[in-house]
A = this chain, B = another copy of it.
Amino acid sequence: MKKKILISDIARDLGVSVTTVSFILNGKAKEKRISEGLTKRVLDYVQKVGYKPNELAKSLRTGKTKIIGLIIEDISNPFFANIARLIEAKAYSKGYRIIYCSTDNQPEKTIELIQLFRDRHVDGYIITPSEGVKDTIQSLVSSQLPVVLFDRYIPGLNTSYVVSDNIKGAYDATAHLAQQGYKRIALVTLYSSQTQMRDRMDGYMRAIDTYKLQPYVKKVNMGDDEETTISSFSAFLADQEPDAVFFATNYLAIIGLKALKQHRVSMPAVASYDDHTLFKLFTPTITAVSQPIEGIADELINTLLNQLDGNAKENRQVVLPSTLIIRESSRARTSSTGN
């Protein structure tokens, strides 16, 4: 149907040189002082025949693809999905396209994806680094490629990043539970030394210190199947009998809620880092630390575009505040429940 039409075709048809057409097409008509008339004639003709330059050839020639690679932990987590959507929209308006992939937080997959994006010559990278990818990211940075990390960063690696204030967010949630009268406040987190997890633990511990409580920490394995995690968590509940539980991520909270629902133990107070649609609909509604999604997306794309434009003197390291959203699940502890 559509015969592929080339820049040389349109040059020939119009009796001008390809250079002229190329200049006009790339908005250099003014700069190269090409006549208004000709410019318009070319543009109109291009429009008419529906000429589209071969982006592959263009990229090969210029070394630019106008593509940003977005490598995130899990596209099916609403937190990441929403950030992805926002970034996509913002990048789009700046003439960049996004291609994204999920890592499932697996180092091998992350490394492979970064390699894939390198092969495809993406212009810049936005990454939620999993553990064990320090070298790979390092090599990106050393190759002068624009990179900005988010949700977590890599200690000892000087890159740009955008994260939320995990310490304060976790502190606020824990302190809130303490203020509501809960005494045995547990933290449910992952076996993970990633910065966001470490910081949430830190925030939790600081609040525990402030209120002179005892810590109860349950760690679970990211990779385990849901059944295993549920029963392990249930065992923890039975064993430690916390009267409040703070989940370090929304997917941990969801698994926890499943466990609570299944095992019909008496419901402790609950709070979670990261918000989720479910939290507004669960009975009771769930208190959560909400990250500033829009702000994170803004900072990410601005930081990256800055680097892409070459205006990046230094790396930007942004920490944005989270907000505690208080819902039913952290209602003040009733005396009847206590002793």
Interface residues of A (CB under 8 A from B): 1-2, 52, 54-57, 59-60, 65, 75-76, 78, 81-82, 84-85, 88, 97-102, 115-116, 118-121, 139, 142-143, 254, 257-258, 261, 277-278, 280-283
Contact = CB atoms under 8 A, between A and B. Distances in A.
Given A120-B55, A143-B2, A277 B278 contact: yes
Task: Please give me the 3 A-B residue pairs with the lowest Cβ-Cβ distance, nearest first.
Answer: A76-B81, A1-B142, A99-B99
B282 A282 contact: yes
Nearest to A284: B283
B121 A56 contact: yes
Contacts of A60: 54, 56-57, 60
A8 B115 CA distance: 22
18 contacts: A52-B118, A55-B121, A56-B56, A56-B65, A56-B120, A57-B60, A60-B60, A75-B81, A76-B82, A76-B85, A81-B81, A88-B101, A88-B102, A98-B101, A99-B100, A277-B278, A282-B282, A283-B283
A118 B55 CA distance: 9
A283 B88 CA distance: 35
B280 A281 contact: no
Contacts of A85: 75-76, 102
A254 B282 contact: no
Nearest to A115: B52
A101 B120 CA distance: 17
B102 A100 contact: no
A65 B121 CA distance: 13
Q: Which of A76, A84, A100 has the most CB of B within 10 A?
A: A76
B278 A257 contact: no
A261 B116 CA distance: 46
A118 to B, nearest CB: 8
Nearest to A112: B92
Contacts of A65: 56
A240 to B, nearest CB: 23
A294 to B, nearest CB: 15
Given A54-B60, A81-B81, 4 more contacts: A52-B115, A55-B120, A56-B60, A99-B100
Contact of A78 (B76, B99, B100, B143): B76
Contacts of A116: 97
Nearest to A116: B97
A116 B55 CA distance: 10
Contacts of A100: 99-100
Nearest to A102: B85
A165 B117 CA distance: 37
A102 B83 CA distance: 13
A258 B277 CA distance: 10
Contacts of A78: 76
A65 B65 CA distance: 14
A143 B1 contact: yes
A120 B53 CA distance: 10
B281 A119 contact: no
A257 B282 CA distance: 10
